[in-house]
Structure 1
Amino acid sequence: MRATELNARTLARATGLTTPQFIVLSIVSEAGETTPKAIAARAGVGQATATALLDKLEARGLITRARGSTDRRIVWVRATDAGREMLTSAPDPLHQVFEQQFAKLRDWEQAMIVASLERIGDMLNAGGIDASPLLDVGPVDRK
């Protein structure tokens, strides 16, 4: 938890983005063009949360949103040049570092870690908890 917090602070100092904003910007940039629904699914958050994050990114000029030309109900999201530049200049987020290190482990080591984490989750009765509110840092009761 402490490593996550320190990484989030480093990211915020370097970019002004929260970790969830960075993740959403990464998803948009990687996709080239995508929808808020697809972003929410990929990020593992609700569509309302994804929309709020997109609002913040758009306000900073890091993404653009445009209605579809054939179906006006569809909103297409794209990263701007400034958004792509932000991603290249940002420090590696902790989850990417973890992914890289985890991928280097042998299959049996990966399986042991996953099994241990699942067991810990079960011990904490965390199976039914929605973790998506934890993707946004700050006081839980803020408006």
Structure 2
Amino acid sequence: MARSPIPSRTAIAGHPIHPMLIHFPVAALIGLVATDVAFITTADAFWARASLWLAGVGAVCGWGAGLIGLIDLVSVAQIRRLVTAWSHALAAVMALSLVTLNWLLRVSDMLGAVSPWGVSLSVLTAALIALVGILGGQLVYEHGVGVETESGS
């Protein structure tokens, strides 16, 4: 039985904003693992500085995207009833909390924070981001969240 699509409350011309905003934080948080490994391997301060910036961008942009997603979660009853939506939100908050801690550790000690705590938090955050992405995909492809099925013609 086909399900009806669930429209997003936060959309521009029918296009949900939350999926538009997640690309930068996801890329930053996955790239953070690579720059941490590069710093550990080379001891070049450039990579520690890149990690600091990626953690900051991932945290700030991630919380911004999360706030937009939260509007849909709490304001659309069909989304609010989905366990997958709550799981997606909870895992995202966990990942964003970890990356915020990671960034705060790096601000005070950019070089010393990378190993062992920084890279450990980066890898854990990346794993959570993968889970968040899987759950987000389920929301779209299995539940039709934010999917417009009517053509504009």
* Same fold, judged at TM 0.5 (above): no
Q: Which structure has more RCO (C-alpha within 8 Å, separation ≥ 6)? A: 2
User: Structure 1-normalised TM-score?
Assistant: 0.31
Instruction: Specify which structure has the higher proportion of strand.
Output: 1
User: Structure 2-normalised TM-score?
Assistant: 0.29
Instruction: Specify which structure has the higher proportion of helix.
Output: 2
